[in-house]
């Protein structure tokens, strides 16, 4: 599995505004155990800088624009520009990510597990070493 875009339904129109929704059973490749959101990140900094041993995520820019790039253990880099509130990126385990926010961007993440610091790989060298195991 690789990071890939997932489009979810959008109801409404430009006069009234729009509504999007996710149902675990129909729209997600994993059960939701946690929801978090990140905001007021300066556009001059890069967040992320880690991979997860087992966590799966679905990440949206519910406001603004978020540029997110992933590197897999095979060294392939995939980048996405999230700029629609109803299009998210599914992130499988073991992808290094770097995330850059526009002003006022809000990142919403649906996650397959509770927060477990031990699930993080925060050292890029340690992450790359895992490629010997695949
Ligand atoms: P981190 O996942 O490293 O943020 P980002 O990838 O956006 O740079 O998390 C930042 C800090 O917040 C880190 O100390 C762990 C903590 N944190 C929690 O306590 N619970 C959570 O659900 C998340 C996502 C982070």
Contacts of 113 (CB under 8 A, 6+ apart): 33, 34, 54, 55, 119
Is the pLDDT reported for residue 93 higher than 80? yes
Which pLDDT tens digit goes with each residue over 17-70? 999 999 988 878 899 999 999 999 999 999 999 999 999 999 999 999 999 999
CB atoms within 10 A of CB 17: 8
* pLDDT at site 82: 98
- Give the C-alpha separation, 118 to 76, whole Å: 25
Q: What is the mean pLDDT of the chain?
A: 96
| Separation of first and last alpha carbons in the chain | 14
Catalytic residue among 34, 50, 93, 128: 50
Is the pLDDT reported for residue 115 higher than 80? yes
CB atoms within 10 A of CB 97: 20
pLDDT grade for 134, boundaries at 50, 70 and 90 = low
- pTM here? 0.96
Residues with CB under 6 Å of ligand 1 are 34, 36, 38, 47-48, 50, 115
**Closest ligand 1 atom to the C-alpha of 107?**
7
Is the pLDDT reported for residue 1 higher than 70? yes
- Give the C-alpha separation, 24 to 30, whole Å: 7
- Give the C-alpha separation, 66 to 36, whole Å: 15
């Amino acid at each position: 599995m690789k990071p890939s875009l997932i489009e979810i339904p959008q109801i409404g129109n430009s006069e009234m505004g729009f509504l999007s929704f996710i149902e675990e059973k129909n729209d997600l490749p994993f059960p939701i155990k946690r929801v978090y959101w990140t905001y007021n990140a300066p556009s001059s900094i890069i967040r992320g800088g880690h991979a997860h041993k087992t966590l799966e995520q679905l990440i949206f820019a519910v406001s603004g624009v978020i540029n997110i790039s992933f590197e897999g253990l095979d060294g392939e880099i995939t980048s996405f520009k999230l700029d629609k509130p109803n299009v998210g990126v599914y992130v499988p385990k073991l992808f290094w990510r770097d995330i850059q926010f526009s002003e006022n961007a809000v990142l919403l993440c649906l996650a397959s597990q509770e927060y477990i610091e031990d699930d993080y790989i925060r050292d890029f060298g340690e992450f790359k070493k895992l490629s010997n195991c695949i």
